A and B are shown apart, each in its own frame.
Chain A
Amino acid sequence: MFHDIWKTFLGFLQGFGAMSLFFLRLLQYTPAVLVTRFRLVFYQVYNAGALSIVIIMVCGLFVGGVLGLQAYSNLERFNAEDTTGIFAGFALIKEIGPVITALLFAGRAGTALASEIGLMKATDQLSAMEMMAVDPLRYVAVPRFLGGVISVPLLTAIFTTIGLLGSHLVAVELLGVDVGAYWQQLQNALDMEDVMEGIYKSITFGIIASLLAVWEGYNSVPTAEGVGRATTRTVVITAIAVLIFDFMITAWIL
């Protein structure tokens, strides 16, 4: 039994090491691809980012709305409903915005990336590229990775802004918190550092989610089942990694 655990551990370590090497190779090609193949990156920003706008906006609106609702109903007991803005703003900007955006991105774009690359591998397109002396890492993996890395911070900003709008709609328009108090309290309580914390998180999560999606696709078993498993693993591992990193970044910044 200990032997099995040991083997599992070794397997995990090996996978982690292979992924780190993969990440380094992606980074190595990044400058060249950004300069010479920007069109590919541009197309992936559309694929991963622009096509996710709708889901991000709808989710942001309702997450912000429910935060406003919850904050109001609890703060009302202390006659502190004016601080609804602080509650919703802090939660959205520092935690919920980056985390939920990363999870939604993994679900919407990460799975698409992983299955696309996985299918390319299963249908031997990657091998064909290699035969033509075209490095698939450079033309398939790097643009998708960069597209994700660029998209996630922008999506996070959109999510958070729409979320603030949602909590404004619920708290101010629906429940009657004073509009001046709502924004004034929020602006007084929030510092630039709080916004930057959200931005740092979104950049980190963008790298994590894109790397894992591309890696899982690139590393999938080239069968129908393998592609399916790679897609599932992308969502699961991204969720775990994002939440762990969220905790670590928060602990580090505070």
Chain B
Amino acid sequence: MQQTRTIELGTGLFALLGIGALFFLTTQTTGKNDFSVADTYQVTARFDNVGSLKPRAPVSMSGVTIGRVTDISFDSNALEAVVTFVIDSEYDQIPDDSDASILTAGLLGSQYIGLTAGGSPLYLEDGSEILFTQSAILLENIIGKFLISGPSSDEDGEDD
């Protein structure tokens, strides 16, 4: 009888620990990336160059993540990249003349979309398009320019 009790206690403890650990792994170690379909609205923006922006990249405003990129496609008529992203419906008062730019998190970080608020009294809604966009700044282009023009154009690049 005592033995059965030990086995049951041990197995119960084991199952509890295991399921607790699984729960921890699935909820605590992953970012809260899922903006569920129900409470978001979809916005598009056109860029000349999206750099290495990827679907699921964050869309942030003032440094706070408010949405995710859902799709990146190429419009062969306008020869532009069309980025579709969803924004949490909680943030439904974003002026519709806000501008979107593709930024890089840190020097080697991944790219994300940063929104800067405009001053329009009208708000972005489902299906609207952001008209003011700024393309990704490609590090290799900057390096290329720097190499061509030389360090002389750089004011404080004399010595360190």
Contacts and interface: CB of A to CB of B under 8 A. Distances in A.
A28 interface: no
Contacts of A53: 13-14, 17
Interface string B18-50: 111110111011111110000000000000000
Contact of B29 (A46, A50, A51, A89): A89
Contacts of B11: 42, 45-46, 49-50
A195 B26 contact: yes
Contact of B18 (A43, A155, A186, A191): A155
Contacts of B56: 191
Given A49-B11, A192-B26, A157 B18 contact: yes
Interface stretch (A16-24, A65-73, A158-166): A158-166
A187 B26 CA distance: 11
A161 B24 contact: yes
The main secondary structure of chain B at its interface with chain A is: helix
Contacts of A198: 25
Interface string A184-201: 001111111011001100
The main secondary structure of chain A at its interface with chain B is: helix
A49 B21 CA distance: 14
Contact of B31 (A154, A160, A190): A190
A244 B28 CA distance: 30
A192 B30 contact: yes
B30 to A, nearest CB: 5
A214 interface: no
A154 B14 contact: yes
